[in-house]
Structure 1
């Protein structure tokens, strides 16, 4: 049995990643924080291969409890996807300490604690991989997102450090989505406004938003033997929006 853990695995991109891993034959543990309805729907869509577990990534003790349960019930995961994230956008000069701390706790400290809790079993088992879902804003800053951009940039450096320290037993890479057609992205950037959407599409060479299936395709590459010689790298999937 191949076990995968996906944080934030019941909504948006995370849901697509959970479903893709299930389609590949994995037993998927999809972690979620709030929306029980989405969790139930994801379990149903997974046709018996997805189990949703509630876990607040801002609470290290909760992470360790859940991870202990996972390893006891399922053994060492072959795949860990650190996908969960939040954004609380706003101007830097008026950004509150709470907005800073909450975003960093979820987007950077959460992956640290989750990886730290599961990595010992993954190293011992060998042949595992971790994929951190960062963002193109980790390498291309934007206004009103100092907390989000800083957290995702830190996640890229965490990816590289883990790739060094967990080698050769665990490969660690980062997937950087660009503009992706999800409810959260539409709301954050106002893409339900046709003029705003047209402006954004004009900056993307592919002239379309990414889909959650685009991101699942990239994840499939990163967790299979086709990327067996790839670690410590960042895969940008954004239609050519950022060419660094």
Structure 2
């Protein structure tokens, strides 16, 4: 069922926020860092497993390289960071309590590339594995945020539902116009992006994930015709 990944993510944020704000005391910094690094290893594994499904390594490499160039030219990562910083400077985010917890948690859960790639993967192929992994990460982060910022963190589930749900439904709507081969290559490119997110969690690799996002579309433009033709031939045989 399309959308299960987002629903799981929403549930994880609600549960984690509730545990953090109502049950669990403030989590030590060392525990928070170590836990996120450990989860980052699992994210790397999930991403590599998805990327390994590609049937054209060359297409994958070229797509990500050209996509990254386009992303840097458009300054996608810089724009995402600037947007997040503008929201953080709004007066009501500085007051503490509900508003601060809601805004900062929403930024964390919605502005990352994992939300985009996971929602696309769920909508295109019906595979929610990226969003399931994101749900675990967000659930743990919700516990930690909730223990410091209170119940406002729980309400970050609302923008997660709207943002990821919209992307998932849009991707599902266009999936019928793409062949299985094209969807597989888009998923493979997304898998490498997810692996990079894991590396950033584990080793603070500093990979600018936002700039790589156009690579998901470049593969379709470059390889669509060559991928579609074998698929049609195979089906015709």
Task: Flag the structure with more relative contact order, 1 or 2, with Cα contacts below 8 A and sequence separation at least 6.
Answer: 2
Q: Which has the higher strand share?
A: 1
Q: TM-score range by the shorter chain?
A: under 0.3
TM-score, scaled relative to structure 1: 0.26
Report the structure number with the largest CA radius of gyration: 2
Q: Which has the higher helix share?
A: 2
TM-score, scaled relative to structure 2: 0.27
